Structure 1
Amino acid sequence: MRPGPTRQAVGQARDILSTFRLFFTPEIEDIILEMTNLEGVRKYGARGDGDDGDDDHRRHYADDHENHENHEDRDRGAARRPLESDGLHRPESLQRVWDKWVERLPLLYNPGPDVTVDEQLVPFRGRCPFRQYIPSKPAKYGIKTWVACDSKSSYAWKMQVYTGKATCGGPEKNQGMRVVLDLTQGLRGHNVTCDNFFTSYELARQLLTRNVTVVGTVRKNKPELPQALLASKDRLLFSSKFAFTSTTALVSYLAKKNKNVLLLSTLHTEAHVSRRQDKKPAIVLDYNSNKGGVDNLDKVIGTYSCRRMTARWPLVIFHNILDVSSYNAFVIWRELNPTWMPGKRNKRRVFLEQLGKALVTPFIQRRARLPRTEASAALVKAVQRATYRDQPPADHAPQHRTTQHHRPKHPTPHNPQ
């Protein structure tokens, strides 16, 4: 794998909008439109115009719903978003979108040499059969997803939604190992960084069969750990102890008094300790530099997000799909256009602003009713005026100068004979 955008992404990412649409293929849009129209039939009745095969009419319930909500919600100053009421709140509909979407992620970007596997908690406090409580996360309650991302760019390369414990046969055994093996399928020559929920000697052994190494913290209750590494009494602060097999290195580092940190690595083969004041081993330094890939993804998504209050958990997942897609698109756009906005620190904000305008402009251009608020109405008028100026007249056709003033008011059809 050559790190960065794939050949497919390079060939199709012509501008910001087309880069975002890499993640929303016409097939995915068709599913969303189909579910929206089904909900429209359920709520408003069949339209009966017989033109469902036409693209414009396939969108009619989304448009009608927008106009209907605009009319109903004018007193509240803003219309509800169409997706809040469409068929995507049905789990089976979302599953179809999710399956198609996650297929796109690894097709568009190749991760660099370091990959991070960790959990992501999408905030949600409503009813959901697999809602999680994680006190260490800022949101504490939400829907958990497993993510494998590029450690440097935080591009989300593969994802899975955690749907709760297995209902038959008891809880899943070795779940952490299974998750890492699933999310790293297809990688070769990479190193995976993960925390002690995932790391085990068996995981390291299986990854090596794929030519993938691992660096991760280890829980102290693992049976494969030697007792000499577990003891921390009478040890010097910042001291390290190592143990090796032919393929694996273990290190015990005393970061604080009575705080023994254990790490496993198949990337390192020597007991190298840095010359820093804290004398951290190379294994610890490499782990610290790559462990935050998914945490950074959470941070940037939380800064600029399309999430909205909703009681429907499928919409929470769909909002996360939009957030991850917009960030992944930004990563691809930035790497394909390294000279775009040089020296600017708010590139992602500008990217999202331009993407939002590109997405909504076609709908503003054909909007029949003006919003109630003055600022919104002025924006719609400005966009529609600019569109009208840019469009040539309907009868604009080149004609010979000598016949221009003699054109009949009601021209007859041209006879090729």
Structure 2
Amino acid sequence: MYTFLVTVLLMGIVKKNSLREYWSTDPMFATPFFASLFSQDRFLVLLRCLHFVNNATAILSDLLYKIRNVLISLTSAFGRVFVPYKDVCIDESLMLWKGRLAFRQYIPSKMHRFGVKFFVMCDVKTGFVQDIIVYTGSTTDIKHYEGLGVLGSVVMTMLASHLGKGHTLYVDNWYSSPTLFQHLLSNSTGACGTVRSNRKGMPAFGCRKMQRGEVEFQENGKVDHLTGERKIKPDCVLDYNLKMGAVDKADMINSFVECTRKTNKWYKKIFFHLIDTAVLNGSIVHRQLTGKVITYQKYRENLMRELLEEHHTPLRPSTGGRPAVDNPLRLTA
């Protein structure tokens, strides 16, 4: 299975149009290394039979029962191996999926537009993905907090183990509300985010047209402990612009080497998406522990090599079947 995962990860770097092309014997397209890992039929059988739950004992009312075990295992590991720095952010991520699925979402502002939506919490300083919640509508796996609504409850669920430690949360206007921010403040957790003017509990500001560079603000009694004067911090706008993009950055980094492939099974695509996330987190932890700065692709390559050295016995490529077509002379120079 380690060799199988390495093969899938390698397909994210060596791009081809279809799975069968990786075992092509055409000299123009051949990549013999894949045949040394698996025969084509063996790999396709493992891919087809990839499954993560016993259907006989599964809780069928859980929309994520096909992938629940893997999701819990990985997100728990994320929380164990890394403690976030001061600043964290929560945002949405969308994994492309156009097939039939009860909880498929349409988000026109995202690049893919159709897919499975994740709530993702990242450490701002490193980009480490701290937690993931898959959105499944009314059955989304969150603890509901009275008065905070669904999105406020998402934030509180993801921050539950980090409250009271002095963290600062960055969110966009989809989550921001005075009620949520006040609740976080009462738990020694700061918050910064853009807001919607029609959000319940928002204070009413003047309607005059403001000029470039002008600031209008309201505060709830925050004072400087040294001078006793009110704190006025327009730097929050700069902080927000600097620290809010961690989730989008993680998606972008993985998009170049992602192992996620077209499949008819939604849970397999989520599995490969989680594997990509785990590898990204691994590269961040490696950098934090060793201090070595290497590219993400180089880290993936080193990881694949070490897994193969430990778990794989090379196969001899098959010499059976029809002989390959001779190379055209013009391609041998």
TM-score by length of 2: 0.72
Whether 1:69 and 2:41 are equivalent positions in the alignment is yes
5+ residue gaps, structure 2, are 6-37, 56-63, 224-229, 322-333
Max Rg structure: 1
Q: Which consecutive unaligned segments of at least 5 residues does structure 1 have? A: 1-16, 21-65, 71-78, 249-268, 273-280, 342-346, 374-417
Aligned CA distance change for structure 1 residues 340 and 137 (closer, same or farther; 3 Å): closer
Question: Which letter does structure 1 place at the counterpart of 2:151?
Answer: G
Aligned residues: 264
Shift of 1:366: 5.0
Residue in 1 that maps onto 2:26: none
Write the deviation string for residues 242-270 of structure 1: whole angstroms up to 9, x where unpaired.
Answer: 1111259xxxxxxxxxxxxxxxxxxxx62
SS in 2 for 1:87: coil
Report the Cα distance in structure 1 between the residues aligned to 2:87 and 2:319, rounded to whole angstroms.
49
Rounded to whole Å, the distance in 1 between the matches of 2:52 and 2:239 is 42
Question: Counterpart amino acid of 1:196?
Answer: N
1:194–1:217 contact (8 Å) kept in structure 2: yes
Give 1:239's match in structure 2, choosing from 201, 205, 214.
214
Q: Distance in 2 between matches of 1:371 and 1:185?
A: 58
Deviation at 1:209, TM superposition (A): 2.6
TM-score (norm 1): 0.58
Residue 87 in structure 1 maps to residue 60 in structure 2:
no
Correspondent of 1:271 among 226, 232, 236: 232
Instruction: Give the 3 Å change call, closer, same or farther, for CA 218–283 of structure 1 in structure 2.
Output: same
**In 2, Cα distance between equivalents of 1:131 and 1:93:** 15
**Is contact 1:69–1:80 with CA below 8 Å preserved after alignment?**
yes
Match of 1:115 in 2: 88
- Residue 141 of structure 1 deviates from its aligned partner by 1.0
Indicate if the aligned counterparts of 1:88 and 1:314 stay in contact, CA closer than 8 A. Answer: no
Mapping of residues 84-233 of structure 1, within 5 Å: 84-88=48-52, 91-166=64-139, 174-187=149-162, 188-229=165-206, 231=207, 233=208
- The residue aligned with 1:23 is none
State the shift of 1:370 in Å.
3.7
Note if 1:360 corresponds to 2:308. Answer: yes
| Matched residue, 1:76 | none
Aligned partner of 1:38 in structure 2 is none
Pair 1:330 & 2:302 matched: no
Q: Distance in 2 between matches of 1:198 and 1:126?
A: 28
Encode CA deviations 1:85-122: one digit per residue, 9 max, x unaligned. Answer: 32248753421121122111111001111001111111
**Cα distance in structure 1, aligned partners of 2:203 and 2:40:** 68
CA distance, structure 2, for counterparts of residue 87 and residue 113 of structure 1:
38
- Is the 1:127–1:311 Cα contact (8 Å) retained in structure 2? no
Q: Which residue of 1 aligns with 2:235?
A: 282
Match of 1:30 in 2: none
For the 8 Å contact 2:176–2:195, the answer to whether it is kept is yes
CA distance in 2, matches of 1:356, 1:340: 18
3-state SS in 1 of match to 2:67: helix
Larger RCO: Structure 1 or Structure 2 (Cα < 8 Å, ≥ 6 residues apart)? 2
TM-superposed deviation, 1:363: 5.8
Work out the percentage of aligned pairs sharing the same amino acid.
26
Separation in 2, partners of 1:363, 1:69: 20
Judged with a 3 Å threshold, the aligned counterparts in structure 2 of structure 1 residues 372 and 292 are, in CA distance, closer, same or farther, namely farther
> Contact conserved, 1:148 with 1:158, CA < 8 A, in 2?
yes
